[in-house]
Structure 1
Amino acid sequence: MLSLALTADLQGVSNLQPQDTEEEPYYYTFKVLCSSCREEHPNWVSFSRYEKHDIPGSRGEANFVWKCKLCGKTHSASITAGPHAYQIPEDPKNKTQKIIELDCRGLEFTEFKADGDWEAKGAETPTAFSGIDLSEGEWYDYDEKAGEEVSVKDVKFEIRNIKVGTELIIRLKWGQTEYRGTLESIDSYMNVLLRDTEEYIDGKNTGSLGLVLIRCNNILWMASADGVEMTDLGLK
């Protein structure tokens, strides 16, 4: 699992995020690397979280499906959480915040390019800003209601691995079953070992399972628990 994280200096604005709706989706643009042969695709690839592509040889779907030309293996990735709005950091020494989370099967994203429009709101006013271009790493405008210039500067994107110890939610492909537990280990095929695991079926907690190994071909999607609204899953 990977997350796309953002660090920025916000002046006069907050709630910075991609303009991303089903009617006008945002296309996330990455450089992609095959985890099997370590070959990096020479071109940028783009996909939206609303795209659905069949995965060859599987009943599953993904936002992005890619066949490596060097080793011939087919890999996939899906956005499992987000986009989250970037807020003015409470701690100026810790400015990095997650924007999206990705479930990657057999591939890695190594670099992100901020193509497309972003949006934000006035930090102290209801002013809405759209069409924000972050491709140059900075943006300036004027908030008439506040009577001052606003800006987004020192924009930096980072792709991070979800670390051992992260609390995850995993949904299986059948039975309306979810597992919630702490990541103990994960391999390149996305086989996951969870500890302190709780099982939910049809939104109801059925008890604690302890240490659980979940094979990759059983997983519909997974995301860190703090990136998923439990009410969206129906978990209680």
Structure 2
Amino acid sequence: MLSLVLSAELSGVTDLRPKDTEEEPYYYTFKVQCTSCRETHPNWVSFNRFEQHEIPGSRGEANFVWKCKLCQKTHSASITAGPNVYEADEKRAAKKVIEIDCRGLEFTEFKADGEWEAKGAESSTPFTGIDLSEEEWYDYDEKAGDEVSIKEINFQVGRAVGTEVIIRLKWGQTEYKGKLESIDSYMNVLLRDTEEFLDGKNTGTLGLVLIRCNNILWMGSADSVEMTDLGLR
């Protein structure tokens, strides 16, 4: 499970969200990477939360279905929650916009194409057609008689807390499998219910483990890799 996370500084406006209805869906735009061969697609991909596409092999439907050109495997993703609003009192705190269930792929970057909307914090004046692609936005609230703005806009794509992940270290053929407790902007990771694997063999349960960013070679969803005697596959 991945989360698209937003942090921003809102001045004079609140309830920032993508304009996303069934009549006018928002197309979420990402860079996509295959978790099997680690190939990153060179182009941006876009999808919305209302369209469903059939997954080959009669495995149901998903919002996004993608076949990796390198390994020829077909992967999928669906938006499971959101979009959530970002309120003025968040004060640049990170807030999940949407959650995405990914199978065999990961989204690595987000591009804020499309229109967003908000309302005046005091006047409730509606603001539509907001463009966040320039990482700042300015307007004027006539009812409040003051300028409004959205600045310090930052989007991150990361693992949703509570999902099961596998982390490979840079040395020793060591992997850790556990539930994501927390992760910061530097990629320092805290896992709970952690199991350790050496050369693909389970060496025991460690419980709560902090893994610093400079030790991590790779991190992926536990349902997209297989533990073997030769390590991750």
Q: TM-score, normalised by structure 2?
A: 0.70
Distance in 2 (CA, whole Å) between partners of 1:60 and 1:165 is: 22
Distance in 1 (CA, whole Å) between partners of 2:225 and 2:55 is: 15
Q: Does the C-alpha gap of structure 1 residues 3 and 184 become closer, same or farther in structure 2, counting only changes over 3 Å?
A: farther
Counterpart selection for 2:124 from 119, 123, 126: 126
Shift of 1:31: 0.1
Corresponding residue for residue 162 of structure 1: 160
Distance in 1 (CA, whole Å) between partners of 2:43 and 2:33 is: 11
Corresponding residue for residue 52 of structure 2: 52
Distance in 2 (CA, whole Å) between partners of 1:33 and 1:155 is: 24
Q: Residue 65 of structure 1 contacts residue 74 of structure 1 at CA under 8 Å; is this kept in 2? A: yes
Q: How does 1:1-236 map to 2 (within 5 A)?
A: 1-90=1-90, 92=91, 95-164=93-162, 187-189=222-224
Q: Residue 75 of structure 2 contacts residue 105 of structure 2 at CA under 8 Å; is this kept in 1? A: yes
Shift of 1:89: 3.2
The number of equivalent residue pairs is 174
Corresponding residue for residue 227 of structure 1: none
| Structure 1 counterpart SS, 2:89 | coil
Structure with bigger gyration radius: 2
Distance in 2 (CA, whole Å) between partners of 1:184 and 1:65 is: 32
Q: Residue 35 of structure 2 contacts residue 224 of structure 2 at CA under 8 Å; is this kept in 1? A: no
Distance in 2 (CA, whole Å) between partners of 1:82 and 1:190 is: 27
**Which structure 2 residue ranges, 5 or more long, are not aligned?**
165-180, 182-191, 195-220, 227-233
Shift of 1:125: 1.0
Q: Does the C-alpha gap of structure 1 residues 110 and 42 become closer, same or farther in structure 2, counting only changes over 3 Å?
A: same
Shift of 1:190: 8.4
Distance in 2 (CA, whole Å) between partners of 1:42 and 1:165 is: 27
**Which structure 1 residue ranges, 5 or more long, are not aligned?**
167-181, 192-236
Q: Residue 35 of structure 1 contacts residue 188 of structure 1 at CA under 8 Å; is this kept in 2? A: no
Which one-letter code corresponds to 2:25 in the other structure? Answer: P
Distance in 1 (CA, whole Å) between partners of 2:19 and 2:113 is: 11
Which one-letter code corresponds to 1:134 in the other structure? Answer: L
Shift of 1:184: 5.5
Q: Does the C-alpha gap of structure 1 residues 165 and 38 become closer, same or farther in structure 2, counting only changes over 3 Å?
A: closer
Which one-letter code corresponds to 1:135 in the other structure? Answer: S
Q: Residue 164 of structure 1 contacts residue 184 of structure 1 at CA under 8 Å; is this kept in 2? A: no
Q: TM-score, normalised by structure 1?
A: 0.70
Quick one: percent identity of the two aligned structures?
67
